[in-house]
Amino acid sequence: MTKNPSSPDRFARLYQKLQLIRRVEEEIARIYPSDKIKSPVHLSIGQEAVSVGVCDTLRPDDVVAPTYRCHAAYLAKGGNLNGMMAELFGKGAGSAGGKGGSMHLIDAANHVLGASAVVGTTIPIAVGYSLALKREGKGRVAVVFFGDGGTEEGVFSESLNFAALHKLPVLFVCENNFYAIHTPIEKRWATRRLCERVETYGIPTNLIDDSDVLEIRRASAWRIEAMRSGKGPAFLEVHTYRWKEHVGPGQDYDAGYRNIEELRKWQERDQVALIGAKLDPALRRKIDAEIDASIADAVNFAENAAWPAHEELLRHVFAE
């Protein structure tokens, strides 16, 4: 049984993860114009609560499969920060050996499956992994994160059907930020009744429309507990909002597809600030200082790490 999500230690842990993701990505945005980061970056600033709320309910041996906007899920599941930063810098000590960059983070030790730059591709991979977990019989679950655009891929429906048919322990989490790159939902979906569409497969669903991290956690804990007892997959749709441009560290509110008023409404419900306000100020300052120190260490690690060796160029290209 999960612990009370409103306990003081729970607030501190949720805040630590929320703030870690926020500060890591703010640092990435600061560094990015210097060209030290060798890959495009898709920032999760504003969307941190989804990954944090879900991952706080998981066991260490549970598995997550992120989308290409993967920093938040990677860090929320306990992914190695030094390895992540080195990967962004293209260094050999990176989580993918410096070959994958921001959109291909992986941490097998912490059960973070490799992210993918291709929309929707981690959905069937997570379903396949959940089949293996079911056969393993240890009560482990898989969680797959994807955006609203990912639900438009054919493999999404195929994966829902297969998971429901075989009662697989997989939690589908849609981070619905209302835009597929620059195209709003209104131009892509005939209706917004995504949960209703998923329910036709016999999969239970929850809609959290304000990105409340405590509500995300409650819904996740409930569904995951049922999954561990063999009741099959579940689906969460969480309304959220990315504060930055689709790809890159800047803002794009002058691009004509969305407006700054949308951002302001979501900033009023910023979970980093709201959960932080529940902590004793001294504890919050301590957590902030520890996070900033760990980020400084990770950046220093990445800057001083070696580039991949020349022989790495052809490794993982041909079967050995």
Tokens of 156: 């999404």
Binned at pLDDT 50, 70 and 90, residue 40 comes out as very high
User: Is the residue at 280 inside a domain?
Assistant: yes
CATH assignment of the domain containing 169 = 3.40.50.970
- 163 belongs to a structural domain: yes
pLDDT > 50? residue 1: no
Residue 150, CA distances (Å) to 68, 129, 155, 168, 228 in order: 11, 19, 9, 20, 26
Is there a domain that residue 319 lies in? Answer: no
Residue closest to 103 by CA, chosen among 150, 66, 152: 66
Asked, for residue 246, whether it belongs to a domain, the answer is yes
- pLDDT at 317 (0 to 100): 86
Is 144 inside a domain boundary? yes
* Domain total of the chain: 1
Q: What is the pLDDT of residues 127-160, one digit of tens each?
A: 999 999 999 999 999 999 999 999 999 999 999 9
pTM of the model: 0.94
pLDDT of 60-76, one tens digit each? 999 999 999 999 999 99
316 confidence band (pLDDT: 50, 70, 90): confident
Residue 225 lies in a domain: yes
- Residue 191 domain-assigned (yes or no): yes
Domain for residue 2, yes or no?
A: no
Domain that holds residue 27: 8-313
% of the chain with per-residue pLDDT over 90? 93
Query: Torsions phi, psi of 74, nearest 5?
Result: -60, -50
Q: At residue 77, does pLDDT exceed 70?
A: yes
